[in-house]
Structure 1
């Protein structure tokens, strides 16, 4: 572990598992039927599962495959947030939070790049991945506990549909899930029924 990693590791999330669960329940109650917030929450759960899969994998090949799936999902998800949701936060006088969100995700991307250089069967690899996991869990808690519920409350119905469409477009631009028509279909549906959607998003499985 580098000195930077050791320093960062000391700044552990103050929130408990119960705090995270409570924040998620509140966010889930606020989410519309497959709107941008619902999609974000679903992707957060999938990211958490990817971390668990990587940490529980028993051999180098399985760990590398699990980390590849994690990297695709995490990068596509963060790119969509950075292109769509954080600018929307800034539009509502949350420039400070938006800047913090960008910085946290940039750090996670750099740490994921460092992870690729490590022996997947080494102690250093596991420590690095656990460090990234802790940082991502804290970031998710910030989004679900405060940032995104406030954005949801402040955003008008027509803009909710636009955020959903744009989030899906930006995620697909990187993740290439093969669902290119979904954003346009959802946008049309949500324009007619701003508080509802009809698409169930799914993450790439390979």
Structure 2
């Protein structure tokens, strides 16, 4: 049940948008995430990306994750710019990539995020992956190009952008800085193998 206006926990960032004024409703998890980690600006995301690119040299798991993040961003852009079957195909490809990417991270990387960056961070990451999969499944049932479809796509993209920012600005750097080199080598090998098995399957 939505909190009342008098509820001090509800801030301008967490209050549900009024459907009459436009905008997609935020989920309960969206509101929690917004309260804990306000959305990063384009400049902040770009800065985090640059820093992780420098830090990830010689860290294959981080390089692979960065490459997949770029692919995900490109597919969002492709889906937005395409029409009809092209948009549907881009969303299908996006869903497949995000599924394989998230499963590889959850199986191989997130246990180390839990250890070296915090259990709360890992827990949030798992939840965000789950919500993204649900939202993408809903998007695939909608007619591409409609206002509702575009709002849903924008909503998912914004959530993914924030998730990527959290990974690139904090969670992955923590693993690189604090996990022993042997552990990072294991992560790199297993992440690539896990993703390739999923991708080929």
Aligned-partner SS, 1:7: coil
Of 150, 155, 178, the match for 1:131: 155
Determine the C-alpha separation between the residues in 2 that align with 1:43 and 1:93: 21
**TM score, norm. by length of structure 1:** 0.79
Write the mapping of 1:21-170 to structure 2, written as runs, cut at 5 A. 21-33=46-58, 35-57=60-82, 59-92=83-116, 94-170=118-194
Determine the C-alpha separation between the residues in 1 that align with 2:194 and 2:144: 30
Q: Deviations over 1:82-116 (max 9, x none)?
A: 11111112233611110000001100000001011
Determine the C-alpha separation between the residues in 2 that align with 1:72 and 1:13: 28
Stretches (4+) displaced over 6 A: none
Larger deviation, residues 78-87 vs 88-97? 88-97
Question: Is the Cα–Cα contact under 8 Å of residues 117 and 171 in structure 2 kept in the other structure?
Answer: no
Determine the C-alpha separation between the residues in 1 that align with 2:46 and 2:76: 17
Q: Deviations over 1:60-93 (max 9, x none)?
A: 1000111111111111111111111111122336
Q: How many residues get paired?
A: 174
Q: 1:151: Cα distance to partner?
A: 0.7
Q: Which has the higher contact order (CA 8 A, sep 6+)?
A: 1
Q: 1:7: Cα distance to partner?
A: 2.3
Determine the C-alpha separation between the residues in 1 that align with 2:116 and 2:100: 24
**TM score, norm. by length of structure 2:** 0.80
Determine the C-alpha separation between the residues in 2 that align with 1:153 and 1:119: 45
Determine the C-alpha separation between the residues in 1 that align with 2:59 and 2:182: 15
Q: CA RMSD in A?
A: 2.1
Q: 1:154: Cα distance to partner?
A: 0.8
Determine the C-alpha separation between the residues in 2 that align with 1:161 and 1:39: 13
Determine the C-alpha separation between the residues in 2 that align with 1:54 and 1:132: 12
Rate the CA distance shift 1:129–1:13 in 2: closer, same or farther, 3 A. farther
Q: Deviations over 1:21-52 (max 9, x none)?
A: 00011101100236101111111111100100
Gaps of 5+ in 2: 1-18
